[in-house]
Amino acid sequence: MNSPAIANAPQVPPVEAIIRAEKVEKYYAQPSENRIQVISATDLSVVPGEILALLGPSGSGKSTMLRMLTGLSTPSAGQVYWHEKPIAGAEINVSIVFQSFALFPWLTVLENVEAPLQARGVTPDERRARSMKMLDTVGLDGFEGAYPKELSGGMRQRVGFARALVVEPEVLFMDEPFSALDVLTAENLRSELLELWANKTMPTKAVFIVTHNIEEAVLLADRIIVLGRNPGHIRTDFRVQLPQPRDRKSEDFTNLVDYIYKVLTKPDVTPAQVPDQAPGHQHPETKVRDQRQMHYQMLPHARPGGMAGLLELLLDKGGRDDIYRLADDLAFEIDDLLPIVDASQLLGFLKIEEGDAAITPSGTEFANSEILRQKELFRAATLEHILLLRQIRRALESKRDHTVPEEFFLDMLDEQFSEDESQRQIETAVAWGRYAELFDFDAGRRRFILPEAPEEEAAASGEGAE
Amino acid sequence: MKLQHPLARTLVTARTWPFLIDVGVAACALALFFSLISTGTYWLGRPVPIVPISHSLSALPAYAFYSIIRIGIAYFLSLTFAITYGYTAAYNPRIEAWMVAVLDILQSIPVLSFLPPVVLAMVALVPGHQMGIEMGVILLIFTGQVWNLAFSFYSSLKSIPREMLEASRIYRYSAWQRFWQLEMPYAAIGLVWNSIVSVAGGWFALMACEMFTMGDRNFQLPGLGSYLQTAATSGDTRALWAGFTVVILIVVATDQLAWRPLIAWSDKFKFEQVESTDRVTSPILELLRRSTILTSIPGRIWTRIEEPIYRRMARTTDCRIVHPIDEEPDRGKPSAALWTLAICFLCIVVWGATHAILMLSTVTWPDLRLLLEGAGATFLRVNAALLISALWTIPVGVSIGFNPKLARFVQPIAQVLASIPATAFFPILLIGLVKIGGGLGIGSVALMLLGTQWYILFNVIAGAMSIPSDLREVSSLFHFTRWQRWTKLILPGIFPYLITGMVTASGGAWNASVFAEYSHVQDRTLQTIGLGAQIDAATDSGRFPILLLATILISLMVVTMNRLVWRRLYRLAETRYKLEG
């Protein structure tokens, strides 16, 4: 573990940033005078000569950050500069490669790639020549007359790349460009991107990629910024100095990946120092705080069945395992596994220590029981740890008709979360509540109701839960 | 590494006889040119409010042509207006809500209510030429066609996927490029389908409006509508049958030569990611694609127009910067020009409202009571028509829909039937009614049915076709009783489509009430208690205050029905009865 491959802040003389964000914030004002802060005051620079990866869980505002840096979204506070001039009126030259490709289905491949050149007033002959050359570079020679719906996903993203690069952008932005593709195609395109970058085939000076895939970030990036959420803020920012081509199995690689996992799984803790580097400086903005006092825990979007499965698996492995290896064994993306891990931790069924998941005694009991007992334990755990479910149950019990409209809780959640997220929180709460037989939900009338149970059982569960 | 071009659409099928097709296209173009010139000469001639209609068969082609021209011009005016209106509404958040509400209200006003103001205005504007009267009728048809086109375009604009909008901004598309490469293609399919409905509605209105009385003025224009009406009055059965045949021929020809190729062509704009196997084919489209004139000349002319525009737009500062997508609505004060415009508009509205109120105050209480009775009667009739239509179209439509081969055959026919203007047949049906001795009370319901039940039919067929076969298998596996099948599978399954059909039919029935409840037959005037009858009678006798009040009443009722009933049902269809997850 003693390689100088990973270091923190550069020791090179500062280069002028192409794009610089200064104390940018994004919030939405609510009519009730509460502000939903999506991104808190952040500084970020994109400097020439590097691939920069923005990594973070969903809800951390990474796509919003990308849009603010490209001028597509105006920051609510702070300023974004393009070569030290405010971006709003500047003639910037950037491109975006989109997650869903954003191709125009009624234009052929060639017409799709020519479109940005058309917008710049390039003559038809020159347009055609440049576009054909670019299609050749991305390997789509021969497909210029095809329509996007005739192509596979990987080919469509290649068209997206060709379109982005044909205008010779100074900075190339990518918004989760490979997440809609299958693993092999994504792998293929990643290595082609690195080739294009290394051979300096494109006059692009910097690449900015937003991703939730840790391995992808470590594979591609020269610098990684990890975002946290609630509200979005930078948790750590460091350079990756592993030489290309990078080996996934090498020790340095896996150490770095592990470090990032630890950072992501412990959202409340200041990240430790990046492995193996001189006591350089951490990014100053690593302390975590929330703008308002959190009343409601943010429920991770996981199903009770998933938690049961995870705990049983963990028990099988002796009660403790590395999260990275768990994800690997299950062939899960870490983004899919983390909510289940988070949820289990929230309910007290497991603990996270140093990037490992360790099952607790209550988790062991849960994993060992059969379905009915599991439901009972789940009910007890949710009533003890989850404020929202406790409130719903109490409200239902205290009302005479034992029903409560969903609006009531949406209103309270709205103060803490955005409208979409509040809706999702209610959906997750309903799923957990139904599994735990705490309450039921009438989707037609949008009301919580008490499940119909014989009097004694209801009384008994009511007592047991309290 | 060059691959073969197996997928490219540029792979041209064997070009068999493009030369002949080119000749055909050129001939059509010449014929069109000549007929337009002759129509122009006629229009610029002296105004003749009452043109004698001949009953000879040789006059039919000319009459048909005049009617087609009127519909065509009205349609293109509607399209232009709808696109402009929808565009303005979508991109101006400050006035968006107002514009949509206005659209809603205008859509609920029956076409005939627009008759007096429009025709009077046009005749006053162009007193010296026949064109004044013609434009009056054309604008009238326009008011029946434009609203749903505007709605369609507006809602297409609002539903463009966000990433495509972002792509158009980051790559600095000018408004021109965005319009032609993103907005129009995205809205194309909706516009095509709504055009079919609009033109059908246009024919419906035109057949009844080519001959009308307004106060002390009579108008009679040469066209199919007047031909049929006069033939019915004089009892000339041969002329009548000839006229009917021509109407049906025109509708079928429009369907085959215009609508089906357009639908097949607009497949290219479908925003789905996979080729679907179920596509409308049109042999005419294939034929037209082989013509060298049509594929190359328009393209070349268009490019020559476009390229300088692109070059010029690329030089403007607007196209050199990236416009944020979430531009906050201008917090700054609106410009002085906007203020003066708003104040002028307000003045006009106030002036108009005062005059309207003054006019309304001349309405007496007995008149008002009559109007309210009429409103109730028409309301009952419209709903009766809807109920009767539903009663027969649902079983028939479901059984057709469950049989895919039959459905593929019947659906286009039902679409054509929906396009045939029922008003063309009203005169003869009314004469028949008189002979039987029946009144217009039942007759008007029958007439409403004739015009609107087809919409419900072909929507139900589409709905039945969309029920997945595995749901039907479940129902037979578990031996559902007929009642269970209907209540748990079929009715919920077709619900969204049924609602769409019923809304269209309801609007059509209200519109039809104006023509169905009041009619001149031979030398008598048949009428029944109803709001439509009163609107018609008021126009006939020139009593404009009654017309205004009746219009207000009808508009109120339709808009209220929309909000209270149809919107709720739509929401139910969207949430509970949607088949995909």
DSSP letters for B214-228: ETTEEEE-SSHHHHH
**To the nearest whole angstrom, how far is the Cα of B451 from the nearest Cα of chain A?**
36
Q: Which residues of A touch B6 (CB under 8 A)?
A: none
- The confidence score (pLDDT) of residue B150 equals 92
**To the nearest whole angstrom, how far is the Cα of A105 from the nearest Cα of chain B?**
7
Q: Alpha helix locations (H) across A61-108?
A: 62-70
The CA-atom distances, in angstroms, between B94 and each of A102, B91, B150, B570 are 29, 9, 18, 27
In chain B, count of helices (H) and strands (E)? Answer: 24, 4
Give the bridge partners for A320, in sequence order. Answer: A358
Instruction: Flag whether residue A104 sits within 8 Å of chain B, measured between CB atoms.
Output: yes
Rounded CA gap, B200 and B98, in Å? 28
Residue B271 is nearest to which of A71, A91, A105, comparing CB atoms?
A105
Contact between chains at A105 and B303 (C-beta distance less than 8 A): no
- The confidence score (pLDDT) of residue B521 equals 67
Query: Searching chain B, which residue's CA lies closest to the CA of residue A110?
Result: B8
Q: Are strands A223-228 and A51-55 parallel, antiparallel or unpaired?
A: parallel
Rounded CA gap, B50 and B446, in Å? 31
Contact between chains at A119 and B307 (C-beta distance less than 8 A): no
User: Which residues between 119 and 138 in chain A have a beta carbon less than 8 angstroms from any beta carbon of chain B?
Assistant: 119-121, 123-124
Contact between chains at B269 and A106 (C-beta distance less than 8 A): yes
Rounded CA gap, A324 and B485, in Å? 51
Query: Searching chain B, which residue's CA lies closest to the CA of residue A121?
Result: B311
Q: Which of A108, A111, A118 to mutate to test the interface with B (most CBs of B within 10 A)?
A: A118
Total residue count of chain B as it appears in this document: 581
Give the bridge partners for A207, in sequence order. Answer: A51, A172
Instruction: Flag whether residue A92 sits within 8 Å of chain B, measured between CB atoms.
Output: yes
Helix axes B18-43, B292-315, angle to 10 degrees: 70
What does the mean pLDDT of chain A come to? Answer: 83
- The confidence score (pLDDT) of residue B115 equals 78
**A390-409 pLDDT, tens per residue?**
888 888 888 888 888 988 88
Q: Which of B171, B179, B331 to mutate to test the interface with A (most CBs of A within 10 A)?
A: B171
- The confidence score (pLDDT) of residue B4 equals 43
- For the entire predicted model, the pTM comes to 0.77
**B459-509 pLDDT, tens per residue?**
888 888 888 888 888 888 988 888 888 888 888 888 888 888 888 888 888
- The confidence score (pLDDT) of residue B268 equals 82
- The confidence score (pLDDT) of residue B127 equals 76
In chain A, count of helices (H) and strands (E)? Answer: 16, 17
Q: Which of B273, B306, B320, B578 to mutate to test the interface with A (most CBs of A within 10 A)?
A: B273
- The confidence score (pLDDT) of residue B155 equals 87
Per-position DSSP letters for B46-105, written without gaps between them:
---SBPPPP--GGGHHHHHHHHHHHHHHHHHHHHHHHHHHHHHHHH-HHHHHHHHHHHHH
Q: Which residues of A touch B185 (CB under 8 A)?
A: 104, 106
**A365-382 pLDDT, tens per residue?**
998 888 888 889 999 999
Q: Alpha helix locations (H) across A348-449?
A: 361-368, 371-385, 387-398, 406-414, 419-435
- Per-residue confidence in pLDDT tens, chain A, 466 aa: 444 444 454 555 567 888 999 999 988 876 666 777 888 888 999 999 999 999 988 778 888 999 999 999 999 889 999 998 898 888 889 999 999 999 999 999 999 999 999 999 899 999 999 999 999 988 898 998 999 988 998 999 999 999 999 999 999 999 999 988 888 889 889 988 998 888 887 789 999 999 988 889 999 999 999 998 777 888 888 888 888 888 888 888 888 888 888 888 777 666 766 665 333 333 333 334 343 445 677 888 888 888 888 888 888 888 888 887 888 777 777 777 888 888 998 898 988 887 788 899 999 999 888 888 888 999 999 988 888 888 888 888 888 888 889 888 888 888 777 778 888 889 999 999 998 888 899 888 888 988 875 444 444 444 444 3
Q: Which residues of B touch A71 (CB under 8 A)?
A: 321-322, 324
**A49-87 pLDDT, tens per residue?**
999 999 988 778 888 999 999 999 999 889 999 998 898
Q: Which residues of B touch A94 (CB under 8 A)?
A: 170, 322
Q: Which residues of chain B have pLDDT under 50?
A: 1-16, 277, 331, 581
